Each structure stands twice: as C-alpha cells, then as structure tokens.
Amino acid sequence: MGANSGLFLRKTRTENHYVLPVVESSITILVCILLITLNDLWKDLININQSTLGILIFAYSLDLAGTLVYIFSVRRTPLGIVYVLIHTTQVMTITIIDTYINNLSFGTFFLLGIILILSGIFTINFQTFKRKNESKFNLIGMSASIFGGFIWGNTAFIVDRSLLKTGILTAVFIKCCVTLIIQGSVIFNKRYDLVKTLNLRELKFLSLSGACITFAFLLWVTALKI
C-alpha cells in the first residue's frame, strides 16, 4: 500500500505533493471518527493521560517530518529504491533501538539481510553515480530516503511505547490532528498558489494516494498494538 501511494503521487504535479499529508489525514480522521463512535471510545480520547498526549504529539510531529522527507525523496529517486531504502532503514533503526534499550537480540542473518539490501541498492545505482547530474539527483533522494527511514524508525518506537497506555484509535486521531494543524497551516498560507494547480484530477490521485497511506497506517498501528 505504501508503494501504491507513491505511484499515485507521481501522477500529480510536484507543487501539489505537499498537500498529500493533509488529504491523507482528512481521510484517516473520518474513518477514525466513525470507528470511535461505533465502538463508543470517545471517553478514552477525552481521558488520555497528559504525558502520553505530549509524547504522541511529539512522535507524530516526527512522523509528519518523515512523510515530507518521503515526498521529497519520491520526487528525486525511483520509487522502488525509495520504498526499499526508507523501510529498510526504518527496520534497522528500530532494531538498533530495541537492542540497546529493550535488550532484544537479533540473528546474524537478519542483520546481514539488511546490509545486503542496502548494498544491492547502491550497486544497482552504481552506473548512475558516474553521470554527474543524475548522480547528484539520485544521491540526494537516496540520502533523504535513509533519513526518512531513520525518522520513521524513531517514531515507531515512541508510538509503540505510548500504545501501552492508550488505544489505537486514540493515537490515530491525535496523529491526524497534529498533521492537519501543522501541515494544514502551511497549505492554508499557500492556498492562492494551490488554486492555480490543484484541480479535480490532482485531487483524485492525491486522494487515492492518501487512502493507500491510511490503510497502511491503520495496519501498522494495529501491528504495534499486538
């Protein structure tokens, strides 16, 4: 689903890419409100511990930064490379944190697999590094992908800890609010520029991309809770 979101995003104009987090959060919060209402969970949201709320706000601010880095990467590097790099780095980051904080151990083959994946990506792109313009373009995108994975890895760890004290839907609702407030404010300030480029076709692909992220995110948060 995460890869599909990138495919739909590439069909939109570059200047409209940063609308995606707002579109995705708008879709997610509607789904979240429906599920919270059906399961009568509003009391969990209202009574959330203040320290947990603060931690989740911080975590999802990081998550938004990771999403913006992902969008930046997709604009500069082939989608397949971005997707593999960002998620491999995310797994590696979580592995390192779990090793040193939770004292968990991972097998040699697991770590070797991650290293081989990263090495393979750089080997595949070796020829592009010989072409100056393409090399610079790819290297920036790949570096951004690694940074984005690092951000998302830290976010996953923080959210995982927070889910011990709150529900999944409460966490998702807070995530949407953080994104809509922060990125929504940025988009609102650029609304006059967006009017010139944002049409129904653009909104369609942004919505499809956002829906894919919504589905993937809900699965991811549910997996953290299990």
* 187: confidence class by pLDDT, cuts 50, 70, 90: confident
Q: C-alpha angle 210/213/215, rounded to 5°?
A: 110
pLDDT at 24 over 90: no
pLDDT at 3 over 60: no
pLDDT at 53 over 90: yes
- Cα–Cα distance between 29 and 23 in angstroms, integer? 10
Cβ atoms of 62 and 155 within 8 Å: the answer is yes
- Cα–Cα distance between 30 and 35 in angstroms, integer? 9
What pLDDT does 168 receive? 85
Cβ atoms of 89 and 207 within 8 Å: the answer is no
What pLDDT does 226 receive? 52
DSSP string for residues in 118-173: HHHHHHHTHHHHHSHHHHHHHHHHHHHHHHHHHHHHHHHHHHHHHTTTS-HHHHHH
- Cα–Cα distance between 162 and 83 in angstroms, integer? 26
CA atoms within 13 A on the CB side of 175: 33
In sequence order, the 6+-apart residues with CB closer than 8 A to the CB of 147 are 69
* 165: confidence class by pLDDT, cuts 50, 70, 90: confident
What pLDDT does 132 receive? 47
- Cα–Cα distance between 55 and 73 in angstroms, integer? 27
- Cα–Cα distance between 22 and 90 in angstroms, integer? 23
In tens, the pLDDT along 80-106 reads 777 778 878 888 888 888 777 766 666
- Cα–Cα distance between 116 and 31 in angstroms, integer? 39
**Among residues 90, 105, 101, which one has the least CA distance to residue 161?**
101
Q: Tell me the residue type at 198.
A: L
Residue length of the chain: 226
Q: What is the mean pLDDT of residues 51-62?
A: 94
In sequence order, the 6+-apart residues with CB closer than 8 A to the CB of 215 are 1
